[in-house]
Amino acid sequence: VRDLPAQALLAADASHPALQRAADQLAAARAVVVATPVYKAAYSGALKVFLDLLPQSALQGKAVLPLASGGSPHHMLALDYALRPVLQSLAARHILAGVYATDSQVTLTPEGAYHLQAELAQRLDDSVAALATEGLRLPPSAAFEPVHFSQVRCSA
């Protein structure tokens, strides 16, 4: 969502090619990971305007894993009280237990890599495993060696 054109999002221009591509990718997905920063007990505005543009059945038949990060643990319930109702209203088949991380649990190394505290890394690993088995209905043993979440490199 962060790469979508802000003007098209704010103007609710659902016909914009970039927004149509994003909606098409979402429609083709079997599972969705929704990740957002939390500020003042709410998920991001960019995510909100994107979700607002989707049809009421946009998540129908999909498993959804909500993830959020914030400056303190005081906003961890934003996943359950702000984001989950919206995901439910979009007809998600299965919304897994979300994972909330504080800034202190994720640090940036001098090399530019992210380091996760062990407890957070374990919760993320458990959630990804649940997404694979419960959401995607994959067998518990995969044909490839699992990658620990701490080795995944991403940007937000």
Alpha helices, DSSP H, located in 14-142: 17-28, 45-53, 78, 84-89, 118-130
| Alpha-carbon separation of residue 83 from 44, 51, 118 (angstroms) | 10, 10, 26
Question: What's the pLDDT at 135?
Answer: 80
Question: What's the pLDDT at 139?
Answer: 78
pLDDT in tens, the chain (156 residues): 989 999 999 999 999 999 999 999 999 999 999 999 999 889 999 999 999 999 999 999 999 999 999 999 999 999 999 999 999 999 998 999 999 999 999 999 999 999 999 999 999 999 999 999 888 888 765 555 666 666 665 544
Could you tell me the sign of the dihedral formed by the alpha carbons of 21, 27, 30, 35, in that order? positive
Question: What's the pLDDT at 137?
Answer: 83
Q: Which CATH class is domain 6-151?
A: alpha beta
Considering just the CA atoms, what is the radius of gyration of the chain in Å?
A: 16
Question: What's the pLDDT at 155?
Answer: 45
